Amino acid sequence: MVEKVYPMTIEGKEKLEQELEELKTVKRGEIIERIKVARSFGDLSENSEYESAKDEQAFVEGRITTLETMIRFAQIIDNDGVDQDEVSIGKTVVFKELPDEEEEEYTIVGSAEADPFSGKISNDSPIAQALIGKKINDEVTISTPGGDMLVKIVDVK
């Protein structure tokens, strides 16, 4: 069975490793303590504190498993063989929407690191898919759920 590969930057992998360590060393202990306290309240069948702690435990254990898998199958992005002005994973691209020339800037990262609210978009997103491999001054049509948009790449960092 072939496992999924998770492309990411070194910083992204380190962030996942920190989250994993926090969950294993701190969060697990806090939840175990909450379960102990909730058990002391007696009847578990009607104990909402116990149910809440068990639900949180299941969520944390699932997240630990997910993080371990992502870290194990991480593929660190290496842009050494990519031209400086070519869009690729790990680079920041600045483009203008045409014709109104509204400028946007995104860093293209692996799906494990994506955070659109901080300007990091997944390499699987429609915008990244359309831009990867393009160069400065290229005009690109991006198909999005809201319709097509024409952009011009103005910078790649």
Q: How do residues 65-108 score in pLDDT, each as one tens digit?
A: 999 999 999 988 877 667 788 888 888 999 998 888 888 899 99
CA 121/CA 132 separation, integer angstroms = 12
User: What is the per-residue pLDDT across 54-67, written as a single tens digit (0 to 9) for each?
Assistant: 999 999 999 999 99
Taking each helix axis from N to C terminus, what angle separates 48-72 and 10-22, rounded to the nearest 10 degrees? 150
- Considering the domain boundaries, does residue 1 fall inside one? no
Of 105 and 1, the one with more pLDDT: 105
Overall size of the chain counted in residues: 157
Q: Please give the C-alpha separations between residue 135 and each of 85, 102, 132, 152, in angstroms, as whole numbers.
A: 5, 19, 9, 10
CA 29/CA 157 separation, integer angstroms = 42
Tokens representing residue 153 in the block: 């790449």
Q: Mean pLDDT score of the chain, rounded to an integer?
A: 88
- Considering the domain boundaries, does residue 81 fall inside one? no
User: What is the per-residue pLDDT across 8-28, written as a single tens digit (0 to 9) for each?
Assistant: 888 889 999 999 999 999 999
Residue 120 DSSP symbol: E
Strand partners, 15: none
Say if residue 103 is in the same domain as residue 152: yes
What pLDDT score does 111 carry? 83
How many distinct structural domains can be found in the chain?
2
User: What is the per-residue pLDDT across 33-62, written as a single tens digit (0 to 9) for each?
Assistant: 999 988 887 777 777 888 899 999 999 999
- Residue 67: domain span: 6-76
CA 39/CA 57 separation, integer angstroms = 14
Confidence of residue 2 (pLDDT cuts 50, 70, 90): low
**Domain edge (last residue) among 76, 99, 124:** 76
- Considering the domain boundaries, does residue 101 fall inside one? yes
